[in-house]
Structure 1
Amino acid sequence: MKKFIVFLMSAMMMMSLAACTPTQPKMETTAPDPQVMASTGGASDKVPDPNAEPMEIISIYSKNDDATGLNQAMDAVSELTAEAMVDKLIEYGVLEEGTKVLKFDKGDGTATLDLSKVPEKSSDGDIIMLTAIGNTFTENFELNKLKLLVNGKNFSGGQIKQGDNDYLEYDKNYKKLK
């Protein structure tokens, strides 16, 4: 009987040790479908959606929080057009809802932008708005200068009245205009 108990105890101990022994993980023999694999979050495993519409990355300039200059933001549009730029300037609060592009002519580093309206501002507000429009258009369309018209006439605001030879150029000091 003692032999039987010792044998039974030995068998139970061997089974309990076998249960605690680590086992080798099963190896897959076929490659997983890339569409089923979980993303690890890194840029290298991102696959562009072949059905997605291509986007143009643009810079948009808008008034900063204390209205002393401009902020620059990166955004995207489906196509680089004057209408898309104006829509983004409306979205960022530079232009008013309902502003339309009446005409946009671009040639040899210079362009003319004719808008249906611009917000009425003070002279300081005019500077910020004009710089936002100028920087947005000159940077995105790679212009040297931009002529801004409102309903076919030179821009005229609070204290700023542009003449026939006045153009908007990129202002690299856009962060502090006042």
Structure 2
Amino acid sequence: MKKFIMCFVGAMLVLSLAACTPTPVKQSESATEPMVEASTGGASDKVPDPNVEPMEIISVYSSNEDATGLNQAMDAVDELTAQSLVDKLIEYGVLEEGTEVLEFDTKDGIGTLDLSKVPSSGTSGELLMLTAIGNTFTENFELDKLKLLVDGKNYSSGHIEHGDNDYLEYNRDYKKL
């Protein structure tokens, strides 16, 4: 019985090695022109450009279509800076054109973002905007919380007033606000 099992295992080993051996590609003897492989147009056909600077992949949060929550989008910037994130938030319609970062600091997991302006809107629009700013900055800069200032003063609008101890934190339930 042992001899039979050993022969069977040996035969399976030979068959598995034979199945894995590469076979040479046969060329047509009648073909006079070299065969050209068709391009699939996929990522495997692309050759990276060695002259292109590397990009930073970021998450950007913006209002969904019916303004009931936020969408998360992956995007890229040349360099991860507070202004590059603000520029993306402008591009995604969260902040107004011309919004600039006056100052951005981080210390012990807490960020302080001072913007030149913040658009005013209704209460639900403000909540979406503040959550989009908070999620975008806390995720990309790996912060615990973010202090939002406008022209050096605590964020304040007709609907939402931030005090000295009010911070924006990452909201995991951003899809439905």
- Structure-2-length-normalised TM-score: 0.78
Q: How does 1:146-157 map to 2 (within 5 A)?
A: 146-157=146-157
C-alpha separation between the residues in 2 aligned to 1:43 and 1:73? Answer: 21
Q: Which residue of 2 aligns with 1:46?
A: 46
Q: Which residue of 2 aligns with 1:104?
A: 104
Where has structure 1 moved over 4 Å in runs of 4 or more?
none
The count of residues paired between Structure 1 and Structure 2 equals: 149
Q: Deviations over 1:104-150 (max 9, x none)?
A: 00122111000000001111111000000000001111111000000
C-alpha separation between the residues in 2 aligned to 1:171 and 1:38? Answer: 48
What's the secondary structure of 2:84's corresponding residue? helix
C-alpha separation between the residues in 2 aligned to 1:122 and 1:42? Answer: 45
Q: Which residue of 2 aligns with 1:25?
A: 31
Shift of 1:27: 7.8
Q: Give the aligned residue type for 2:157.
A: G
8 Å CA contact 1:131, 1:174 repeated in 2: yes
C-alpha separation between the residues in 2 aligned to 1:148 and 1:95? Answer: 13
In structure 2, relative to structure 1, the CA distance for the partners of 1:109 and 1:39 (3 Å cut) is: farther
What's the secondary structure of 2:58's corresponding residue? strand
In structure 2, relative to structure 1, the CA distance for the partners of 1:44 and 1:103 (3 Å cut) is: same
C-alpha separation between the residues in 2 aligned to 1:49 and 1:99? Answer: 33
Q: Which residue of 2 aligns with 1:133?
A: 133
Q: Which residue of 2 aligns with 1:87?
A: 87
C-alpha separation between the residues in 1 aligned to 2:107 and 2:39? Answer: 46
Shift of 1:26: 4.5
In structure 2, relative to structure 1, the CA distance for the partners of 1:150 and 1:136 (3 Å cut) is: same
Q: Which residue of 2 aligns with 1:11?
A: none
What's the secondary structure of 1:62's corresponding residue? strand
C-alpha separation between the residues in 2 aligned to 1:39 and 1:153? Answer: 58
- 2:158 is equivalent to residue 158 of structure 1: yes
C-alpha separation between the residues in 1 aligned to 2:118 and 2:168? Answer: 15
Q: Which residue of 2 aligns with 1:145?
A: 145
C-alpha separation between the residues in 2 aligned to 1:56 and 1:115? Answer: 22
8 Å CA contact 1:59, 1:139 repeated in 2: yes
In percent, how many aligned pairs have the same letter?
Answer: 72
Shift of 1:42: 3.3
**Any unmatched runs of 5+ in structure 2?**
1-27
Structure label with greater radius of gyration:
1
8 Å CA contact 1:122, 1:157 repeated in 2: no
Q: Which residue of 2 aligns with 1:7?
A: none
**Any unmatched runs of 5+ in structure 1?**
1-21
